Amino acid sequence: MSQVDGSYECVTKSPMGDQKSVFTVQSDGDSFTGQNAGAMGSLDVENGKVDGNKLTWTMNMKVPMPMTLECEATIDGDALTGTIKAGPFGSMAMTGTRQG
């Protein structure tokens, strides 16, 4: 198991207010799979890459409008900090804590 694997309870600062989600990471060498599941449904991780404790990935959002989200995060112990780039809406801060 890699140091980045786990489930993280996250909050993303979106234009529609704080969006809570659970972000799961399952690494396999220098790539990872998982999903970000929240009130608006769950989005699968695509093109997940692991570089040490840094993650980069994309997600295809369908609701409220189709858009590819470009994401990156750094894992430091049990803390996750990152950003989600949402096209014309700009970057949104994402923070999380690994669940026991």
**Tens digit of each residue's pLDDT (9 = 90 or more) over 22-79:** 999 999 999 999 999 998 789 999 999 999 999 999 999 987 789 999 999 999 999 9
The pLDDT-based confidence of 9 (bands split at 50, 70, 90) is very high
Mean of the per-residue pLDDT values of the chain: 94
pLDDT value at residue 37 = 97
Quick one: how far is CA 30 from the chain centroid?
16
Provide the CATH topology of domain 6-98: Lipocalin (2.40.128)
Model confidence, pTM:
0.93
CA distance 13 to 83: 9
- % of residues, the chain, pLDDT over 90: 83
Let me know: does 29 contact 47? Beta carbons within 8 Å. Answer: no
The residue extents of the domains of the chain are: 6-98
